């Protein structure tokens, strides 16, 4: 029986059908995201314990953070999730590669903006004001030792999140290149979908980090 | 068999294409949620501040998961994975807190001064 | 060009082209995407790590022949037991069966051409090797003396040893496990042959699936935990330092959230192997297939809610201790179900006592002892006395060495003809199985007694009245060591000089036995269509037992 198949782009031969490959890829990414939930979850567990045990210190530490930057960054990431979803939809509906690339670049720009706001308006300011434990810490005033514990969590958690953002930007770069090389079509856009899942996950982590870090104890 | 590579299995489901309008509505809802969370934090609700913030965060997460991540149109296996991951996280937090929060020790931070770190071996 | 030697049963000779000779050269191995070659890459790495951990154990037992210690200063002895534990747990036991036999056998047993993500599979191996490299560097540079459990504040504030290097090795190796587990779960879900329903899967696959669930849910937590420990040690800021409001017990909670399920990572695949060995070598369908399958899943699930039993005497809240104690009793039940079902499978089976069966029988006995002694430790009142003593050491070695390592060896022997195409010399295999069994019991049974009498673990010196038992243990260890070296020799020998095995030397059921030994790279010429249940051995005929009142027909 002569094989009269045309190999679709990206088809891997350990699979029998394209559908099997697509489902396997999706399942794999969801399992990976489950591992990420547990990975971040370790720090959320520690956070839960210490917030319960040292609530006044955590409130004081939280008030050192500037809500408007946290809220702005939340909005930035939500926009980037929208643009990512639209990029995938463009591939699904057979839009030109220019359209897909534009949405991807917009997503990257928003992600970069997130990091830029963090670095310039939050972390640099923290550095100058001596709020980074282990790097530049000025005791005294509002910088009580209890605040130091909170700031450890702030930097550990947002730092790990930012690291995941940077990896996401790398992945998006690869996707832009792949799109430019005509790799995607309505019949094959699995890498876009799977990367989209990762990107949305990073957004969700921030959705929780914002209230848990910036809004402890309220601002009334 | 490789010759099936271009064909689809008998139970093949065409991936669902979400309308742009749906995405935009979800986006608006997420922005509203963010504004709401921020606004509520400026109101004194006592302990309910935390609960409100978390509830809004969970709703935002559900919107992202169901619509942006297409879980509304996904298989049961996908949902089980997500539920299992959060359930296991819940186990870790709950059972850890069952110890940490029931010891009822007197939490006196002893002036919060750092211990002497004598470990010098960095790597 | 095929050789013209007939195999043991006069069946066709070794296939001309198989996965071993399909391509030559070191690049074809280091860049392979074939799950079978990757399994062998892991086999080599893991054997090396076993030797390193074994050397540490040998030195420990030599040191302990004298009450004041024969070889080392206490500081050095601390490094010995830490190295032994770290290497054996993270770099040998956790990956052993899944990464070697799992990688090799899963696609064969489910009727697939490879795992779902072959490139990820190779990447997992490279990540593992990198983790091993960091851990070995830390060991050679002077080791760590914190114990394999790395408890702060000692490990974060005071230890002057290479904690960060070794912790980094563990962190990296953890990602290897996560990716392997991910690969296995997707493979088992998505790549089964037509007709291979979940309840026709071999039980080894169920066990590996359950193990992969633990890999995926548990390992990320140890990763973040050692990451936080490393940050605390490097930056001198921390969340486990009591002086700044931190809690060292929080580290223990996060550590054991992984490390308890990790011990089930270490034993579940072994239990899966035993199901295969028992059925094949007693030529009988497993008794209670679905019970055994679900017990694997139950073990995986319950293993996540018992970790506090490692912390009964650490100052944990009594309330939590009660909860964890009750749950720990629960986890024994599915394990017991397996032991009962294996025994019932053996009953009236047509048992042959080749080496794999000897390892399986040894496993059943030794694992049962190890498991039962766990109940003493799950019980709060007795744990207060037994915790921190050699009773614990004996308990987990009965399970890990008497159980997991014996299952690993049994599986290597059972699938060796499939892996290499050759049979090993059976007499030597049986002799070394016996030597291992005897050496093992002589090493570790005295340790139960030592623990009961109160000898603490991790101590470089001990009271003189314990010397006899310690010397017995060390003598046993030397016998055990010999028992491990012999298979290394004859297995390597057999690759060249062993008789050609043919596709199915055991006449076993299972898809892996329907293809040539060694298999071709693509595994199956045509993907099989599965129509029968697992272990579909013919029922034992009534005429074989003329005098039995009601013949057991299965």
Question: What pLDDT is recorded for position C489?
Answer: 97
C-alpha B58/C-alpha B80 separation (Å) is: 18
Task: Look over chain C and give the mean of its residue pLDDT values, rounded to a whole number.
Answer: 93
Model pTM?
A: 0.94
Q: Is residue A186 part of a domain?
A: yes
CA distance C213 to C516: 31
Give pLDDT, residue B102: 87
Domain assignment present for residue A3? The answer is no
> Contacts of residue C189 in chain A, CB cutoff 8 Å?
24, 27
Tokens 């669930």, residue located = C213
* Minimal CA separation from B61 to chain C, in Å: 21
Domain assignment present for A29: yes
Domain count, chain B: 1
Name the residue among A27, A52, A220 with its Cβ closest to that of B77: A27
CATH of the domain at A210: 1.20.120.80
Alpha helices in C347-466 (DSSP H): 355-378, 380-386, 390-399, 406-420, 426-453
pLDDT (tens, 9 = 90+) of chain C, 554 residues, equals 333 344 556 555 777 899 999 999 999 999 999 999 999 999 999 999 999 999 999 999 999 999 999 999 999 999 999 999 999 999 999 999 999 999 999 999 999 999 999 999 999 999 999 999 999 999 999 999 999 999 999 999 889 999 999 999 999 999 999 999 999 999 999 999 999 999 999 999 999 999 999 999 999 999 999 999 999 998 888 789 887 788 999 999 999 999 999 999 999 999 999 999 999 999 999 999 999 999 999 999 999 999 999 999 998 888 889 999 999 999 999 999 999 999 999 998 999 999 999 999 999 999 999 999 999 999 999 999 999 999 999 999 999 999 999 999 999 999 999 999 999 999 999 999 999 999 999 999 999 999 999 999 999 999 999 999 999 999 999 999 999 999 999 999 999 999 999 999 999 999 999 999 999 999 999 999 999 999 999 876 555 555 555 444 44
**Number of domains forming the structure of chain A:** 1
- Give the other-Cβ count within 10 Å of C59's Cβ: 19
Q: What is the pLDDT of residue A23?
A: 93
- Domain hosting A190: range is 18-215
The verdict on residue A183 lying in a domain is yes
Write out chain B residues lying below 8 Å of A4, CB-based: 3
Report if residue A11 sits inside a domain: no
**How many angstroms from the chain centroid is the CA of residue A8?**
31
* pLDDT for the residue numbered A4: 41
A131 contacts on C by Cβ (under 8 Å): none
By DSSP bridging, strand A131-132 and strand A136-137 are antiparallel
What pLDDT does A138 receive? 83
Mutate to test the interface with C, among A35, A55, A161 (most CBs of C within 10 A): A35
- This model of the complex carries an ipTM of 0.93
Cβ-based contacts under 8 A for chains A and C: 106
Which of C172, C171, C183, C212 is closest to C122 using CA atoms?
C183
Structure-block tokens of residue C382: 């007795």
User: What confidence tens digit (pLDDT) does each residue in C139-187 have?
Assistant: 999 999 999 999 999 999 889 999 999 999 999 999 999 999 999 999 9
Cβ atoms C88, C396 nearer than 8 A = no
pLDDT, tens digit (0-9, with 9 covering 90-100), for C273-306: 999 999 999 999 999 999 999 999 999 999 999 9
Query: In Å, how far is A27's CA from the nearest CA of chain B?
Result: 7
Alpha carbons C231 and C425: distance in angstroms, whole number: 52
pLDDT at residue C549, rounded to an integer: 53
Say if residues C407 and C358 touch (Cβ distance below 8 Å). Answer: no
Predicted local confidence at residue C64, as pLDDT: 97
Question: What is the distance of C-alpha C469 from the center of its chain?
Answer: 27
Q: Which residues of A touch C238 (CB under 8 A)?
A: 152
Q: Is A136 helix (H, G, I), strand (E, B) or coil?
A: strand
Q: Does A159 touch chain B (CB under 8 A)?
A: no
B58-104 tens-digit pLDDT = 999 999 999 999 999 998 999 999 999 999 999 999 999 999 988 87
- Could you tell me if C460 and C514 are in contact, meaning their C-beta atoms sit under 8 angstroms apart? no
Nearest neighbour of A53 by CB, restricted to B8, B92, B107: B107
Q: If interface means Cβ-Cβ distance under 8 Å, which residues of chain C face chain B?
A: 153, 156-165, 189, 217, 221, 233-234, 236, 241-245, 247, 249-250, 253-254, 257, 304-305, 307-308, 311, 315-317, 319-320, 323-324, 526-527
* CA dihedral (C48, C52, C57, C59) positive or negative: positive
* Full residue range of the structural domain in which residue B62 is found: 2-122
Mean pLDDT of chain B: 84
Low-confidence ranges of chain A (pLDDT < 70): 1-7
* All structural domains of chain C with their residue ranges: 30-541
The superfamily (CATH) of domain C30-541 is: Cytochrome c oxidase-like, subunit I domain (1.20.210.10)
Q: How many CB atoms lie within 10 A of CB A163?
A: 11
Inspect the interface and report whether the beta carbons of C245 and A53 lie closer than 8 Å.
yes
pLDDT at B3 over 60: no
- B107 to chain C nearest CA, in Å? 8
| pLDDT attached to residue C553 | 44
Looking at CA atoms only, how far is residue A37 from chain C in angstroms? 9
Rounded Cα–Cα distance for residues C21 and C24 (Å) = 6
The whole-number pLDDT of residue C422 equals 95
Q: Is residue A189 one of the residues assigned to a domain? A: yes
């Amino acid at each position: 029986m002569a094989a009269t198949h045309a190999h679709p782009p990206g088809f891997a031969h350990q699979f029998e059908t394209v559908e099997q490959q697509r489902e396997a890829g999706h399942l794999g990414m969801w399992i990976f995201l489950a591992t990420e939930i547990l990975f971040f979850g370790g720090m959320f567990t520690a956070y839960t314990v210490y917030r319960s045990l040292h609530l006044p210190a955590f409130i004081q530490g939280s008030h050192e953070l500037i809500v408007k930057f946290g809220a702005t960054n939340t909005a930035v990431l939500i926009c980037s999730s929208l643009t990512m979803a639209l990029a995938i939809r463009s591939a699904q509906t057979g839009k030109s590669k220019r359209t897909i690339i534009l949405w991807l670049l917009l997503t990257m720009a928003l992600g970069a903006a997130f990091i830029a706001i963090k670095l310039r308006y939050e972390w640099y300011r923290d550095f100058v004001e001596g709020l980074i434990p282990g790097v530049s810490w000025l005791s005294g005033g509002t910088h009580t030792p209890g605040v130091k514990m909170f700031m450890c969590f702030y930097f550990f958690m947002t730092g790990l999140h930012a690291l995941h953002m940077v990896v996401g930007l790398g992945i998006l770069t690869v996707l832009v290149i792949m799109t430019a090389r005509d790799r995607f079509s309505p019949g094959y856009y699995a890498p876009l979908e799977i990367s989209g899942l990762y990107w949305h996950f990073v957004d969700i982590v921030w959705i929780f980090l914002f209230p848990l870090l910036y809004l402890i104890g309220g601002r009334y | 068999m490789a010759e099936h590579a271009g064909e689809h299995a008998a139970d093949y489901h065409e991936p669902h294409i979400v309308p742009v309008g749906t995405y935009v509505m979800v986006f608006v809802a997420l922005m509203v949620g963010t504004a709401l969370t921020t606004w509520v934090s400026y109101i004194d609700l006592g302990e309910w501040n935390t609960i409100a913030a978390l509830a809004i965060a969970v709703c935002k997460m559900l919107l992202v998961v169901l619509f942006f991540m297409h879980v509304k149109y996904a298989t049961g296996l996908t949902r089980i994975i997500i539920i299992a991951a959060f359930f296991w996280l819940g186990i870790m937090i709950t059972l850890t807190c069952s110890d940490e929060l029931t010891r009822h020790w007197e939490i006196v931070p002893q002036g919060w001064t750092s211990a002497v770190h004598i470990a010098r071996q960095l790597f | 060009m095929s050789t013209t030697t007939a195999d043991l049963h006069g069946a066709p000779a070794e296939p001309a082209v198989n996965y071993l000779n399909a391509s030559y050269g070191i690049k074809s191995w280091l860049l392979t995407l074939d799950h079978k070659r990757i399994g062998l890459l892991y086999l080599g790495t893991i054997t090396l790590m076993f030797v390193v951990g074994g050397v540490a154990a040998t030195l420990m037992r030599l040191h302990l022949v004298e009450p004041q210690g024969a070889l080392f200063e206490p500081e050095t002895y601390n490094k010995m037991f830490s190295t032994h534990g770290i290497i054996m747990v993270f770099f040998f036991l956790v990956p052993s069966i899944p990464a070697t036999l799992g990688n090799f056998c899963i696609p064969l047993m489910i009727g697939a051409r490879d795992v779902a993500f072959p490139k990820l599979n190779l990447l997992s191996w490279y990540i593992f090797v990198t983790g091993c490299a960091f851990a070995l560097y830390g060991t050679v540079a002077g080791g760590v003396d914190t114990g394999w459990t790395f408890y702060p504040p000692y490990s974060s504030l005071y230890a002057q040893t290479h904690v960060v290097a070794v912790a980094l090795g563990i962190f990296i190796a953890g990602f290897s496990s996560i990716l392997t587990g991910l690969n296995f779960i997707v493979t088992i879900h998505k790549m089964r042959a037509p007709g291979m329903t979940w309840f026709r899967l071999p039980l080894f696959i169920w066990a590996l699936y359950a193990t992969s669930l633990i890999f995926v849910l548990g390992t990320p937590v140890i990763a973040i935990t050692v990451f936080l420990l490393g940050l605390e040690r490097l930056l001198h800021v921390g969340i486990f330092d009591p002086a700044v409001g931190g809690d060292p017990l929080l580290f223990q909670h996060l550590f054991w959230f992984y490390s308890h399920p990790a011990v089930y990572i270490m034993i579940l695949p072994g239990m899966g192997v035993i199901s295969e060995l028992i059925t094949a070598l007693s030529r009988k369908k497993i008794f209670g297939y679905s019970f055994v399958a679900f017990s694997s899943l139950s073990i995986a699930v319950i293993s996540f809610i018992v970790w506090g039993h490692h912390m009964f005497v650490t100052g944990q809240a009594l309330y939590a201790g009660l909860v964890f104690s009750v749950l720990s009793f629960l986890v024994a039940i599915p394990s017991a179900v397996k032991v009962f079902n294996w025994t019932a499978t053996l009953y009236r089976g047509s048992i042959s006592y080749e080496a794999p069966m000897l390892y399986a029988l040894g496993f059943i006995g030794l694992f049962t002892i190890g498991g039962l002694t766990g109940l003493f430790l799950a019980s709060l009142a007795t744990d207060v006395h037994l915790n921190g003593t050699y009773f614990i050491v004996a308990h987990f070695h009965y399970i890990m060495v008497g159980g997991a390592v014996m299952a690993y060896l049994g599986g290597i022997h059972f699938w060796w003809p499939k892996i290499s195409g050759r049979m090993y010399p059976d007499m030597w295999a049986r002799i070394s199985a016996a030597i291992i069994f005897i050496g093992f019991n002589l090493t570790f049974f005295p340790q139960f007694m030592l623990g009961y009498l109160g000898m603490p673990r991790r101590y470089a010196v001990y009271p003189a009245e314990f010397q006899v038992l310690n010397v017995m243990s060390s003598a046993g260890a030397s016998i055990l060591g010999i028992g491990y070296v012999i298979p290394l020799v004859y297995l390597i020998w057999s690759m060249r000089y062993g008789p050609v095995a043919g596709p199915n030397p055991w006449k076993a059921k299972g898809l892996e036995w329907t293809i040539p030994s060694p298999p071709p790279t693509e595994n199956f010429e045509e993907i099989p269509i599965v129509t029968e249940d697992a272990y579909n051995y013919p029922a034992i005929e009534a005429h074989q037992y003329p005098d039995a009142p009601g013949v057991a027909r299965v």
